[in-house]
Chains A and B, each alone.
Chain A
Amino acid sequence: MKPPPFAYHRPSTRAAVDQLLAELGEEAKVLAGGQSLIPIMNMRLAAPAHLIDINTLEDEPTEPALEDGVIRFGPLVRQAAAERWLELAARAPALKEALAYTAHPAIRSRGTVVGSIAHADPAAELPALLLALGGEVRARGADGSRTIAAEDFFLGALETALKPGEWVEEVSLPAARPDSGYAVEEFAQRHGDYALCGVIAVAREDRVTLVHFGIGPLAVRTTLPAPVTVDDVREALADVDMTDDLHASSAYRRHLAAVLGARAASRALA
């Protein structure tokens, strides 16, 4: 359970990260909080030849920034800092609920919001939240930067639209709207583990958008008219293949998806 050897790089500016990624190619990985990357290195599931540690970048924001109804997260905003952010409950209630399900305090004190999204684990809360809220990812590299919408960012399990040489410099989420309701529900084997099934609900007017995660290689978004029953959710997900593994059969996940989906929808509508 020891990570394989790698060359260690400690740039101090975002531009220096671009240069290193351009020089080192696909053998390099960006290290932010490391709470997803280091476990898979310890288990030798990942063996990057180079790690580019961005924790020493200078003048980086350490807190979320709210501007014109959008909440921006720089690459070193820790999940714990987002939890402590004074505007969290009022402006990002869905993020508040999602963070409570995201691992544990000693993980959240290192793990970053951006890192969880860039890692794109299909059972993680924050990528699903980005999709549910219609957020954006700003990618950059030696060739410049571009903005990618959530629905175009996630391509599969741990796969994103980032091209070789690109990394994520910012994630933005729309702030909560007074005309909308939000709720997160999740079932995991132990509190803080990855979800066997989770769902994020966003209710607006007489419709509810549900994003289910933990059920397959990608989170699944559906929109249903209110009110939403267990049978409505089951029917909406009838054609979706569900993961079948040691921890939960696909039939059990289908059951969880329907029950949790209806429960989240009714809270979001309340």
Chain B
Amino acid sequence: MIAIALTVNGDRHDIEVEPRRLLSDVLRHDLGLTGTHVGCEHGVCGCCTVLLDDEPVRACLVFAVQADGRAVKTIEGLANADGTLHPLQEAFHRHHGLQCGFCTPGFLMLASTVYKQAASMSDEEIRVALGGQLCRCTGYVGIVRAVRAAAEEA
């Protein structure tokens, strides 16, 4: 076991992990942050996307030991501390950007890194930027519309 320190959504956690423990499993099972969803567990679906030092990563393709000393942001840290929703969450709600909701945390975390530029992007460019996230309900039209709406209001 290896001792690591993770800062998740601003809170520091000192834990011990096996080297093979994936960041996605530490978030869900060790820290109880089950908002990060796990779909394919080999990097294809994008459901487990979180921010590592502000960059989007697949939590299932990072060992937790590699996040030692670094800052992780998950879906639980996206809304404001007072509970008001992030503009993207508001827009997904308003523009029907989710159906079953399984892919939504990954979409929101990835979109949070690009949505401020989305106002000047074409729909095609938004689709390419979001292309690594799969929605099995296939509700992409609402998702693209929500990202654009959040950008225009930002």
**Given A6-B19, A51-B19, A191-B128, A35-B110 contact (CB < 8 Å):** no
Contacting pair B18 A5 (CB below 8 A): yes
Size band of the interface chain B makes with A? 20 to 34
CA distance A120 to B119 in the complex (A): 38
Question: A53 at the A/B interface (Cβ < 8 Å)?
Answer: yes
Contact of A192 among B52, B58, B113, B131 (CB under 8 A): B131
Is A39's beta carbon under 8 Å from chain B?
A: yes
A123 to B52, CA, bound (A): 28
Residues on A with beta carbons closer than 8 Å to the beta carbon of B57 = 106, 109-110
Q: A238 at interface (Cβ–Cβ under 8 A)?
A: no
Give Cα distance in the complex from A110 to B60, angstroms.
Answer: 12
The interface size of chain A toward B, counting residues with CB under 8 Å, comes to: 32
CA A3 – CA B128 in complex, angstroms? 30
Contacts A35-B43, A42-B42 known; A2 to B65 CB distance under 8 Å? no
Kindly state whether residue B102 has any CB partner on chain A within 8 Å. no
Q: How far is the CA of A109 from the CA of B40 in the complex (A)?
A: 19
Interface residues of A in 178-221 (CB under 8 A from B): 190-192
Judge whether B61 and A104 touch: CB under 8 Å. Answer: no
Is there contact, CB below 8 Å, between A34 and B62?
A: yes
Residues of B within 8 A of A7 (CB): 19
| Cβ-defined contact, A105 with B129, below 8 A | yes
Whether B131 pairs with A104 at a CB distance below 8 angstroms is yes
Cβ-Cβ contact count across A and B, 8 Å cutoff: 87
Q: How far is the CA of A1 from the CA of B60 in the complex (A)?
A: 10
CB neighbors of A among B92-128 (8 A): 110, 113-114, 128
Q: Which among B20, B62, B113, B132 is the interface contact of A110 at CB below 8 angstroms?
A: B62
Shortest Cβ gap from B109 to chain A (Å): 9
Question: With A42-B41, A55-B66, A191-B131 as given contacts, are A107 and B58 in contact (CB-CB < 8 Å)?
Answer: yes
User: Residue B140 at the A interface, CB < 8 A?
Assistant: no
Residues on B with C-beta less than 8 A from A5 are 18-20
Cα A35 to Cα B128 in complex, Å, equals 19
A42 touches B60 (CB 8 A): yes
Q: Could you mark each residue 14-35 of chain A with 1 if its beta carbon is under 8 Å from any beta carbon of chain B, else 0?
A: 0000000000000000010011
- Pairwise interchain contact B132-A104, C-beta atoms closer than 8 A: yes
- Decide yes or no whether B46 CB sits under 8 A from chain A: yes
Which residue in chain A gives the minimum CB-CB distance to B110? A106
Contact partner of A106 (CB less than 8 A), chosen from B18, B22, B56, B63, is: B56
Question: Which chain A positions have C-beta within 8 A of B2?
Answer: 8
Instruction: Indicate whether B36 reaches chain A with its CB closer than 8 angstroms.
Output: no
Closest to A4 in B: B20
Q: In the bound complex, do residue B19 and residue A110 qualify as a contact, i.e. CB atoms below 8 Å apart?
A: no
Q: Contact at A34–B63, with CB atoms within 8 Å?
A: yes
A80 within 8 A of B: yes
Q: Which residue of A lies closest to B17 (CB)?
A: A8
CA separation between A43 and B21, bound complex, in Å?
Answer: 14
Residues of A that sit less than 8 Å from B by CB: 1-8, 10, 31, 34-35, 38-39, 41-43, 51, 53, 55, 80, 100, 103-107, 109-110, 190-192
Query: What are 22 A-B pairs with beta-carbon distances under 8 A?
Result: A1-B42, A2-B41, A3-B22, A5-B18, A5-B20, A7-B19, A10-B65, A39-B42, A39-B43, A41-B20, A42-B22, A43-B42, A53-B63, A55-B66, A106-B49, A106-B56, A106-B110, A107-B132, A110-B57, A110-B61, A191-B128, A192-B131
Taking A38-B60, A42-B22, A42-B42 as known contacts, 8 extra A-B pairs with beta carbons closer than 8 A to each other, sorted by chain A number, are: A3-B22, A5-B20, A8-B63, A35-B58, A105-B113, A106-B49, A109-B55, A190-B131
Q: Taking beta carbons and an 8 Å cutoff, which residues of B are in contact with A?
A: 2, 18-20, 22, 25, 40-43, 46, 49, 52, 55-58, 60-63, 65-66, 110, 113-114, 128-129, 131-133
